[in-house]
Amino acid sequence: MQVLVSGSHGLIGSELVRRLETAGYRVVRLARASATAPDAVSDDVVTWDPQAGSIDAAALEGFDAVVHLAGEGIGEKRWTPEQKHRILDSRTVGTSLLAGALAGLANPPRVLVSASAVGFYGSRGDEVLDEDSKPGEGFLAEVCRAWEAAAAPAGEAGIRTVLLRSGVVLSAAGGALHRMLLPFRLGLGGRQGTGEQWMAWISLDDEVGAISRALTSDGLVGPVNAVAPNPVMNAELARTLAAVLRRPSFLTTPLLPLRLRYGAELVDEMLLASQRVVPARLQADGYEFAHPTLEGALRETLGRAARSGAGTRPAPLG
C-alpha cells in the first residue's frame, strides 16, 4: 500500500510513518516546500503550499490512501483574534485544498483519513458522547465542524472519508502528558479546577492503531472517535499519574496564572471542558485497544521513555 501523509513530522505523524514503514508500507510525505530539505528525494515528498492554494496534483495520482494530520497547534499561544484565525485556516484551508485535489484525480485514493478532534462535542458534563452525538458550542467545536466540512469534496467524489475525532493523545515524547510530567515529578501536580470534568484520552499506540485500522477497514467511514474506551475525570488522571510516578498529588493546579498567560477562553475550553467520549464505531468494527485503561497506558509510555525505547514493542497495526 502507498500512503501519503501530511503533518508527518508531528508527534502522531512521525510515529505513524515509522510504524507504516516497519509494516512494509511505502510512505510519502506531503510537506511545504519550505519544510523540505533542498536535496530531498522527490519520490519521497510531495510539496504543497496551502496558503498559496498550490499543490502538485499530478503527484497525488496513484496513492492507495491519504492521512491528513497537518494543522496549527491549538494550545501554545493565547487565542487572540489573529491566532484563532490562524488555527481555523490551518485546518480548513489545507483540508479543502487537499480534498478538492483528491476529488479531481483520475486515479484517486480509496480512503482519506482526515484529522479532527473531540473538541467537536464542546463541553457536555456527564453526557456520554458517541459519533452520533450533536456538535457542541465554543471555538474548538466551531473549528472542528468547519475542519470536517472542508473534507467533504473527497467523500462526494466517492473516496471513503474517515473523520478521526481524537482525544488527548498520551505520550511522554510530547503533547499534554509531556507538559504535565515535570510538575508531577516534583510533587506539584494535581487536578485542574474541581477535577470533575471528563477527559477523553488515547495512547499514542492506539492513536496510530486507529489510523491504521481506518486505512484498511471499509466499515469505517465518516466520524470515528479515536479515544480509549474508558474516559476518566481529571481528578482521576491526576491521582493515577501521581501514583505511577510515585509522587503525592494533593494540590490543585492554579488556574489564574494560566488564564493570565493564555486567556480564559483557552483555559476553559482546553482544561476545564468535560467530554465523556466513547469509541463506539472503533469498537463496533472490532478494534482491540492496546491500552484500554489509563494506568496501563501511563505505565507503558513512561516505562518506554525510561528505557529509551530499548526492548519495547509497539502495538500491532489496526
- Measured CA to CA, the distance from residue 9 to residue 5 in angstroms comes to 10
Give the HSE-up count for residue 64: Cα atoms under 13 Å, Cβ half-sphere.
Answer: 10
Whole domain around residue 138: which residue ranges? 2-306
Give the pLDDT of residue 34. 65
Give the pLDDT of residue 39. 39
- Measured CA to CA, the distance from residue 50 to residue 86 in angstroms comes to 12
From first to last of its 318 residues, what are the pLDDT tens digits of the chain? Answer: 999 999 999 999 999 999 999 999 999 999 987 655 443 445 699 999 999 999 999 999 999 999 999 888 898 899 999 999 999 999 999 999 999 999 999 999 999 999 999 999 999 999 999 999 999 999 999 999 999 999 999 999 999 999 999 999 999 999 999 999 999 999 999 999 999 999 999 999 999 999 999 999 999 999 999 999 999 999 999 999 999 999 998 889 999 999 999 999 999 999 999 999 999 999 999 999 999 999 999 999 999 888 755 334 444 454
- Measured CA to CA, the distance from residue 232 to residue 291 in angstroms comes to 14
312 found inside a domain: no
Three-state DSSP state, 248: coil
Query: How many domains is the chain built from?
Result: 1
314 found inside a domain: no
Q: Are strands 54-55 and 65-68 parallel, antiparallel or unpaired?
A: unpaired
The per-residue b/e assignment along 178-210, b for 16 or more CB within 10 angstroms, e otherwise, is: eebeeebeeeebbbbbebebbbbbbbbbbbbbb
Q: Is 67 within 8 Å of 4 (Cβ atoms)?
A: yes
315 found inside a domain: no
318 found inside a domain: no
| Amino acid letter, residue 252 | T
153 found inside a domain: yes
Residue count of the chain, please give it.
Answer: 318
102 found inside a domain: yes
Give the pLDDT of residue 97. 97
10 found inside a domain: yes
Q: Is 316 within 8 Å of 209 (Cβ atoms)?
A: yes
